[in-house]
Structure 1
Amino acid sequence: MERKLLLQELHPALVHMPLALLPTAAVADLVVVRTGDRAWEKVGRRLWVVGAASAVFAGVSGLAASKEVRMNAPRARELTFVHGMGNALITAGALGLMAWRQARPPTVLTTVLGLTACASALVTAALSGRMVYEQGIGITPMPQNAPQGSVKEPPLLSREAPVALLKDAGRGAAWLMSWARTPR
């Protein structure tokens, strides 16, 4: 029996792009700052565009995935919140650096900011590993009484998937913001 790619599986499939492209953009900027090589300036500028765009797609799919899984344990919700909010901040920073780089060459400050954001992305990526391997978030199939696992699973290439992606991404963003405002 052939298994179809599920909507919640789009996020782990997309996250590798920004995790590879954004550090490459930051390193290209570092080369420019250290050597003055103008050819790398153009490479970095283009990498910031593609890397930031891929971070947006990974983020939207992550917000949707957060509504496609079950997270009943407080630790699971905490990890998911820190992962999501951290990546939202990193994506906002990548978009800001991308906008800056469209009109200007890299500076020492923007290069350090870019490298710091990339190091922060490694932390949020490690949190996602804990979410899956320690907490079992998104593991399919899970027994219905498990505190974490999958809730629903529209096939990625189904008619339902685009609507579910946007609806669940909106619900995921609302959950992230409400969790940020909730005292613990």
Structure 2
Amino acid sequence: MKMLLHELHPAVIHAPLVLLPTAAVADLIAVSSGDWAWARVGRRLWVAGTVSALFSGVAGLAASQEVKLEEPRARDMVFLHGLGNAVISLGALGVTLWRLRRPPTLGQCVIGVLANVAALYTASLGGRAVYELGVGINPMPKDAEAGTFKGPPLLSREAPAALVSDALRGVRWLLGRARSLFSGAHPLAPGASGVRPGNQEPSVANEALAGSATYEAAVLPT
């Protein structure tokens, strides 16, 4: 089975989700204990975590153009996931630039911890978009609102150009959606934030797969 280009993002996103919290904890230990060997560890982890976050972000922007987002809730959930991660990644970049020249401070540690708490929320949105709404799942029926457009294989000749072009399209989409949201022209779809209470409606993935199973039962011989 060949790995497709849109599958790069979920494959690499775990690196910053591990490295950035560890960097924040290392800095916190350095500040609280006075052991500045931890500060050197934290600085290296910030660099590694930020580089991996930026790469994961580029892969995520590209993936946003290679998956089906025809259902409003799924589209806006992916938008919030991407916008939140973009803000967190830029914040990590700022902390990293600070740490390259200065020792950790208590205020910087607090910012780092809060940013990683926010990352838990954006990560949960990404997980719900996939597991609840079916975004990016290859076996989804072709006529489903969720799934994927089946981009090029990750190791193909077309993949590098597709990664760059789709990432740029993803940036334009993210900024355009943010503009329409903050101007009030296009509010978020209900349930897109993932925190609406009492959200019991069937997921897009379940509806699509149930429809596919019904069709197969009707037309396929037993």
Q: TM tier, shorter chain?
A: over 0.9
Residue of structure 1 equivalent to 2:77: 79
Give 1 or 2 for the bigger CA radius of gyration.
2
Q: Distance in 1 between matches of 2:159 and 2:127?
A: 25
Alpha-carbon offset, residue 152 of structure 1: 2.5
Residue of 69, 83, 86 corresponding to 1:88: 86
Residue of structure 2 equivalent to 1:53: 51
Alpha-carbon offset, residue 116 of structure 1: 0.5
Report the more deviating stretch, 156-165 or 142-151. Answer: 142-151
1:121-136 alignment, distance < 5 Å: 121-136=119-134
1:144-183 alignment, distance < 5 Å: 144-182=142-180, 183=185
Q: Distance in 1 between matches of 2:176 and 2:47?
A: 30
Is residue 138–residue 150 contact of structure 2 (8 Å, CA) maintained in 1? no
Give the fraction of aligned pairs with identical amino acids, expressed as a percent. Answer: 59
Residue of structure 1 equivalent to 2:42: 44
Residue of 8, 11, 35 corresponding to 2:9: 11
Residue of structure 2 equivalent to 1:35: 33
Can you list the C-alpha shifts for 1:24-65, whole angstroms capped at 9, x where unaligned?
000000001100101001000000000000000000000000
Q: For structure 1, which runs of at least 5 residues remain unmatched after alignment?
A: none
Residue of structure 2 equivalent to 1:24: 22
Secondary structure of the equivalent of 1:150?
coil
Can you list the C-alpha shifts for 1:104-123, whole angstroms capped at 9, x where unaligned?
01111100000001001110
Residue of structure 1 equivalent to 2:65: 67
Can you list the C-alpha shifts for 1:72-101, whole angstroms capped at 9, x where unaligned?
011011101100000000000000000000
TM-score by length of 2: 0.81
Letter in 2 for 1:59: G
TM-score by length of 1: 0.97
Letter in 1 for 2:31: V
Q: Distance in 2 between matches of 1:100 and 1:69?
A: 36
> Which is helix-richer, 1 or 2?
1
Larger RCO: 1 or 2 (CA < 8 Å, sep 6+): 1
Q: Distance in 1 between matches of 2:69 and 2:105?
A: 42
Q: For structure 2, which runs of at least 5 residues remain unmatched after alignment?
A: 187-222
1:88-107 alignment, distance < 5 Å: 88-107=86-105
Secondary structure of the equivalent of 2:2?
coil
Q: Distance in 2 between matches of 1:38 and 1:71?
A: 47
Residue of 111, 114, 123 corresponding to 2:112: 114
Can you list the C-alpha shifts for 1:103-159, whole angstroms capped at 9, x where unaligned?
001111100000001001110110011100111000002222101110132100000
Secondary structure of the equivalent of 2:58?
helix
